[in-house]
Amino acid sequence: MDSLLNQDRPPVFCPGCAHERVVAALDQTFQGMGLRGEQIAIVSDIGCSGLFDTFFNTHAFHGLHGRALTYATGIKMARPDLHVVVTMGDGGLGIGGAHLLSTCRRNIDLTLLVLNNFNYGMTGGQCSSTTPQNAQVGSGFLNRLEKPMDVCRVAGAAGAAYTARASAYEKDLSDTLATAIRYDGFALVDIWGVCPGRYTKRNKLSPKTIATTLEGLPPTDHFRKENTREEYGRAYRHEAADLPPAPPPQGIETLHPPVTETRQEVVFLGSAGQRIVTAGELLCLAGASAGLQASQKNDYPITVLRGHSVSEVILSKKAIGYTGIQQPSVVIALAAEGVTRRKKMLANLTEDALVIRAEGIAIPSCRATVVTVDFKAAGIREPDWALAALATLANRNTALSSAMLQTALDIRFSGKVYDLATAVVGKASA
């Protein structure tokens, strides 16, 4: 196989830069694996290591600092057969830490080469996430205060099965890289090297000291045993293959006459857990079954199980413009939390309006007709009050009819939930 090196663009690193050795080793790896340029994508980010993609005649994606793994993930998911090799320095490693951890957890078949030279070469030799605390770097005393991280152990703890440490100077680097690329899952190689342009101007580091230090580091082989599992993309496709297709949006035919020609504005005032939003949806469905346009606008805090829940439903023969409530025709008051939110609205109700009030819920005095219902006495649990209130409305033929409500239940529920809902409606109508 021919070299994949781009003859028009030879490496431009400082003389003696370890990166150049990795470029040569990687080319040998590709050749040894018999790969053609279009079978490989090199994804790089910023810094001296970010030049890697330009030296090869392969697919190339050069992006933002620390984000290389994000692009590589998208590419690999879309092109599972492509060999995706990501290069980043110890800079990209630090800035993209969240992406590193998540890529390890995913186990997607990417090969990450960390070109670790213990400082930011391009910007002036500042400290990185791997700078030793006793090093002299361009960040003054700051690196003395931060502990360097061991990439391989971090990656293993985050779920990577394949991690390897290597020196840019070792003979069999291209074999190490080949094993990593062949690995069916996420593989990370932490490649140590010198940066004569910056780091070794003030710090002693040689191929020999690198080799000795690497030997002294704790092993990471056990991660292989702990973390080996199916590759993410393949696992994803397996899971997806069993999923049923999403049902298309359901059209509701006009089955019933509407109970009135006038626009209805119905406001549910409740609290979390009272299934206010579901009741609002049922009313919309009921309206649609009478050929009415419907809209539902909800108001609730970010907490799921606490606080107010307000739903505003409009039913109208004409297209609905403004979705806010202007003149409520019905207010369903089921909890103090909701009532508090719409005190002004309640006080301003006209005499045409109807209020369905759950027994025990205080509302401001108003001109509307107020009907108090003791849901509890009727044996209805609080989470069902909103549905029961709809049944009360249907009995009075206000806003919806019993037939409209029945159709809404048929559309929205099935199985056991349907039976329970029907029982609630039965109790409320009794």
Q: Which of 395, 406, 404, 403 is nearest to 430 (CA)?
A: 395
Per-residue CA distances from 170 to 166, 197, 212, 371, 406 (Å): 7, 21, 12, 86, 76
Q: Which stretch binds ligand SF4 (CB under 6 A): 28-36, 114-122, 180-188, 342-350?
A: 114-122
Say whether residue 250 binds other proteins (CB under 8 A).
yes
- As given in the structure block, the two tokens for residue 300 are 């609730």
- As given in the structure block, the two tokens for residue 150 are 């061991």
Say whether residue 195 binds ligand SF4 (CB under 6 A).
yes
Contact 41, 20 (CB under 8 A): no
Say whether residue 206 binds ligand SF4 (CB under 6 A).
no
For residue 156, the minimal CB distance to other proteins (Å) is: 18
Residues 358, 362: Cα–Cα separation, whole Å: 9
Residues 68, 60: Cα–Cα separation, whole Å: 11
Task: Residue 77: name its binding partner from other proteins, ligand SF4, none (Cβ under 5 to 8 Å by kind).
Answer: other proteins
* Amino acid occupying residue 314: I
Task: Residue 321: name its binding partner from ligand SF4, other proteins, none (Cβ under 5 to 8 Å by kind).
Answer: other proteins
349-408 residues near ligand SF4, rule: CB under 6 A: none
Contact 355, 370 (CB under 8 A): yes
Q: Which stretch binds other proteins (CB under 8 A): 78-86, 166-174, 213-221, 399-407?
A: 78-86
- As given in the structure block, the two tokens for residue 117 are 């030279």
Binding residue (CB under 6 A) for ligand SF4 from 14, 142, 347, 417: 14
Say whether residue 329 binds other proteins (CB under 8 A).
no
Binding residue (CB under 6 A) for ligand SF4 from 50, 66, 159, 197: 197
# binding residues, ligand SF4 (CB under 6 A): 12
- As given in the structure block, the two tokens for residue 9 are 């663009």
DSSP string, 98-141: HHHHHHHHHT-S-EEEEEE-SSBTTTTSB--TT--TT---TTTT
Task: Residue 375: name its binding partner from ligand SF4, other proteins, none (Cβ under 5 to 8 Å by kind).
Answer: none
Residues that bind other proteins (CB under 8 A): 9, 37-38, 41, 43, 53-54, 57-64, 67, 69-79, 81-82, 98-99, 101-102, 236, 239-240, 243-246, 249-254, 280-281, 284-285, 287-288, 291-302, 320-324, 326
